[in-house]
Chains A and B, each alone.
Chain A
Amino acid sequence: MAAADTAVDLSQAMRLEPVLPGDWLVVAPLLLTILGGALCLITRKNTEAQPKVAIIFLTLLVLSCAGLLARVLDKGVVTMVAGSWLPPFGIAFTADALGATLALTSSLVALAVAVYGASDVDRSGRRYGFYPFLLLLMTGVCGAFLTGDIFNLYVWFEVLLISSFGLLVLGNERAQLDGAVKYAILNIIATTLFLIATGLLYGIVGTLNMADIAIKARGIGMDGPLTTVAVLYFLAFAMKAAAFPVNFWLPASYHTPRIVVSAVFAGLLTKVGVYALLRIFVLLMPDARAALADLIALVAILTMLTGVFGALAQTDIRRLLGYLVISGIGSMLAGLAIGTTPALAGAIFYAVHSILVMTALYMAAGVMRALGGSFSLRELGGLYGANPAFAAVFLMLGFAVAGLPPFSGFWPKVLLVDAALVGGHGWIAAAILITGLLTTIAIGRVWVFAFWRGGAEGTPDGYEKALAVPDPKITGAGIWLPIGLLLGLIVLLGIQPEFMMQVAGRGAASLGEPLGYLRSVFGDAIQ
């Protein structure tokens, strides 16, 4: 039946004015990764073509995310509601500076990982779907960053979780299955809690649209049911983000897959959890954040310290880096605990920094393994002699993760410590600084053992063990290019932090004072 012969006023239910092509940038990241993933799946037997398809689509993804960020900075928050339905009934995709920045950073990391994977992942890994899973993982990650609907957020979490299961068991080794079981069970519990909390929240406010929830939850204030929902969300996303005391799945699983998979996991997955915490506790339920601030601060401090102590105790580089991921999560949670705009900006900046540096460090661990034949600090040694340039690269990455200038980790820590002292949270500031010191020691330990020492444990001083010549494919341009790209960004953010500071400030401001966000969804009538 044609629409013309029914006299229904569609403007009550649907958006009838045309959409600018630029607004499609909000959904472009999802479409590109789904299309690329499907094409990679179709060509999965053609192991030569797959990396090319993936790299082309991920390059397009980077461009579309950059375009989206430029548009957000230029015109404010961008919203597109699927199917023309008016919010809160249509499913909204809403990109603010926070979401767009994280989507851009993640897509850069994914591109680097795809390039690294072209040299590192063998034919069987490709045939079992490394590239389709990588692209679909990016669908989930970008979807989570860009959606404006809390149930939709759950769906994207599922998408990225299922893809990550696939990546985790790539290779089918015993240890991988063991790690995957721990990872899967904990994450499924967290996702279920997330779903339960969302159901309860829907029961309270009667809507799933984030902007709508933000309005209604502010109207309700803080009461019993809403506090329960907030605590459930905190537990669910703390699990996802690997915050203390629900962080044990991360060191138990991140060292089992291929190193390139560990790299993408360490970069992206926990940060999506942190993003969800920021979105829910600052944009949707600011009263709950204020009520839980002390708890969040305690969790943040313990996460930072247990993370870095774990790193000090490990001899396997991959496990050590896994603990450093956890320690970084603590810093971001500290920003959430303080809750002022500069603190949130620090947390956002730290998330960007952590995505870049953790991926780069895992990639560097892969190179260490290729050069020295092991991931264990007991067996590594003499890498400085084997490749001095790489030793310098690793040291720079180490300084970045410890938060030393002039690298990207320095500025977010400055923001966070400053905000903590201004807000009267001396303990948080002290914890951040102590964690920085201990991280420097942990990284210094890796450098001394793996690079400075002449050979494996027991090599006398002054002796140099000759290392086997590594496979040229593992140390060629395909490996240096992605590490170089990430290192370049890390140095750039360290030397020229103004742009990132500004963007993170915009992101934090739009979380704390969401008028722009709400107007983007509901139109200018919102006060």
Chain B
Amino acid sequence: MRTVIFRTIAPYLAALMVLFSVFVLLRGHNEPGGGFIGGLIAASALAIYGIACGVAAVRRAITLHPMSLSAAGLLMAALSGLVSLFTGQPFMTSQWWYVRLFGVEVPLSTPMIFDIGVYLVVVGSIGSIALALEERESD
């Protein structure tokens, strides 16, 4: 698998896939996409990078351990449901904020935070499984 072509292209491919996964994640609120599928795409980016350049390089690149990413995502998703406690509404009622950035109205919401949490959980758990499997093969 470690041909010159693959090793040269893999970092760019992985970067593109991560970018695309973020696009899919943010698009997911109103159109097909979302945290789960976005997370899967990002995890496959990690897997491809791992196949091409070795697991150690992936671990260096993502800095945090994938399980920590997962845990942070779980924390985010759970906390996003808690926001409605302060508005007197039931658990997980969505809250919206409309922020003007550079003249554009950007809607931000708790479902988005939840979705980012799901994204991180999927990247973390699938990523750590993939990396563990690749590690076994290489040693």
Contact = CB atoms under 8 A, between A and B. Distances in A.
Interface string B126-137: 000000000000
Contact of A18 (B78, B89, B98): B89
Interface in B64-87: 67-68, 70-72, 74-75, 78-79, 81-82, 84-85
Interface in A13-43: 15, 18-19, 21, 23-24, 27, 31, 34-35, 37-39, 41-42
B90 A82 contact: yes
Nearest to B72: A42
Interface of A: 2, 15, 18-19, 21, 23-24, 27, 31, 34-35, 37-39, 41-42, 44, 80-84, 93, 132
Interface string B81-118: 11011001111111000100000000000000000000
Contacts, number: 58
B90 A35 contact: no
B71 A39 contact: yes
Contact of B68 (A42, A80, A84): A42
10 contacts: A2-B98, A31-B82, A35-B78, A35-B79, A39-B71, A80-B90, A82-B81, A83-B92, A83-B93, A132-B71
Contact of A24 (B74, B78, B85): B85
Contacts of A80: 90-91
Contacts of A38: 71-72, 74-75, 78
Contact of A84 (B79, B82, B89): B89
User: Which of B89, B90, B98 has its CB near the most chain A CB atoms (within 10 A)?
Assistant: B90
B66 to A, nearest CB: 11
A42 B71 contact: yes
Contacts of A41: 67-68, 70-71, 74
A35 B78 CA distance: 7
Contact of B91 (A24, A34, A132): A24
Contact of A15 (B71, B82, B90): B90
Contact of B81 (A18, A19, A31, A39): A31
Contacts of A42: 68, 71-72, 75
B74 A27 contact: no
Given A37-B74, A84-B93, 13 more contacts: A27-B91, A31-B82, A35-B75, A37-B71, A38-B72, A41-B67, A41-B74, A42-B68, A42-B71, A42-B72, A80-B90, A82-B81, A84-B84
B85 A21 contact: yes
Nearest to A79: B90
Interface of B: prevailing SS: helix
Nearest to A45: B65
Closest 6 CB pairs of A and B: A18-B88, A41-B71, A38-B74, A38-B75, A84-B93, A38-B71
Main secondary structure of the interface of A (DSSP, over half): helix
A82 B91 CA distance: 5
Nearest to B76: A38
A19 B89 contact: yes
Contacts of A93: 91
A452 B85 CA distance: 58
Listed residue (B74, B88, B98) with the most chain A CB atoms within 10 angstroms of its CB: B74
Given A18-B89, A21-B85, A31-B82, A83 B74 contact: no
Contacts of A24: 85, 91
A132 B70 CA distance: 12
A19 B74 CA distance: 25
A39 B85 contact: no
Contact of A34 (B78, B84, B88): B78
B90 A19 contact: yes
Contacts of B74: 34, 37-38, 41
Nearest to B78: A34
A93 B92 CA distance: 12
Contacts of B94: 83
A311 B30 CA distance: 58
B68 A81 contact: no
B92 A82 contact: yes
Contacts of A31: 78, 81-82
Contacts of A2: 98
Contact of A39 (B75, B92, B98): B75
Contacts of A19: 88-90
A41 B75 CA distance: 10
B120 to A, nearest CB: 11
Contacts of B93: 83-84
A34 B77 CA distance: 10
A21 B67 CA distance: 33
A37 B72 CA distance: 11
B90 A84 contact: yes
Contacts of A132: 71
Nearest to A91: B92
A344 to B, nearest CB: 30
B129 to A, nearest CB: 13
Contacts of A83: 90-94
Contact of B67 (A23, A39, A44, A84): A44
Interface in B32-79: 67-68, 70-72, 74-75, 78-79
Contacts of A27: 81, 91
Nearest to B70: A41
Interface centre among B88, B89, B94 (most CB of A within 10 A): B89
A171 to B, nearest CB: 17
Contacts of A18: 88-89
Contacts of A81: 90
A493 to B, nearest CB: 32
A221 B71 CA distance: 46
